[in-house]
Amino acid sequence: MMALPLSPWLHGFRPVPASRRALVCFPYAGAGAAVFRDWALDVGPETDLLAVRLPGRESRIGEPPLHRVEEAVPALLAALEPLRDRPLILFGHSLGAALAYATARALAAHGRPPALLAVSGRRAPHRPSRRPPVDGLDDAAFRARLAALGGTPPEVLACDDLMELMLPMLRADFAMSDAFLEPDPPPLPVPILAIAGAEDAEATVEEVAGWERLAGAGFTRRTLPGGHFFLHEQRALIVRHLLGEGSRNTH
């Protein structure tokens, strides 16, 4: 039985005595590992469910947050080292997709490519953002941006004390997302599953389809109903796609 937690960077939701593979989930900006807790309801007994926990949130709230995707990769590689004996499915949503992609590329460079990279609600790495970076926004404008995205509960946005605590982490996460760009990425020797929300204005279906350019080992695209945070309403369907594609690429 795998000992959990593996590292401060990975949180496991339930022990799996004889897992055949691991599903590693990377959260969106401002979120922690807990956003994937309910996924345990849909992941079967053969799959370890693990979620990445970045510095600056949850049990790591006292640590300074990171501002670049590249800063997280070495620690993520070390955290995933105990899992090297089983196939990995990496799934990331929005900022998490950039983190999952960077981790997949580093794993491949070390001769340990994951069985599947699944990216959700994120433009392809060579596509620049259509929105201005958050660095130039004052706190009021930044809070308005959060409200427009829809991922932060209104009661949190309305609580000045809570927002004062969370703003450094949130700003760091958005800066991390804004700065991640690879103008001419080489193909990735990993199968890619790209998932888009049909009504997602933050990452359009066409922008998500751009991941095909990087797919050096097969590409699948799915479009699901919903806006930018469709992963919550479509959780069971997303898990089904992840495990189905992951199984296909481990035989």
Q: Is residue 4 predicted with pLDDT exceeding 50? A: no
CB 154 within 8 A of CB 147: yes
Give the pLDDT band (50/70/90) at residue 28. very high
Give the residue numbers annotated as catalytic, written as ranges.
94, 228
Domain ranges of the chain: 10-248
10-12 and 47-52 as β-strands: parallel, antiparallel, unpaired? antiparallel
The CA distance from 24 to 87, in Å, is: 11
Stretch 153-175: mean pLDDT? 84
- Domain 10-248: give its CATH code: 3.40.50.1820
CA 49-10-85 angle, to 5 degrees, is 65
Question: What pLDDT is attached to residue 221?
Answer: 95
In this prediction the pTM is: 0.92
> Would the pLDDT of 211 be above 70?
yes
